[in-house]
Amino acid sequence: MSPLPNYRPQQMSLGPLETEILNIVWDLGCATVKQVHELILADPDRELAY
């Protein structure tokens, strides 16, 4: 088996939904997945794919 390449991105970045989730957790201080999910879906125009 060949070894894994030593590639690492120069800069790590988050996507927009990841950023939103982390901001929610940061604002609440402590949150369950259910709380975050409910807050994200509170916007009636929001569509999330599963």
40 contacts 24 by C-beta, under 8 angstroms: yes
- Residue 27: what pLDDT? 95
- Whole-number pLDDT of residue 43: 86
6-45 per-position pLDDT tens digit: 877 777 789 988 999 999 999 999 999 999 999 998 988 8
Query: Rounded to the nearest 10 degrees, how much is the dihedral formed by the CA atoms of 41, 46, 49, 50?
Result: 10
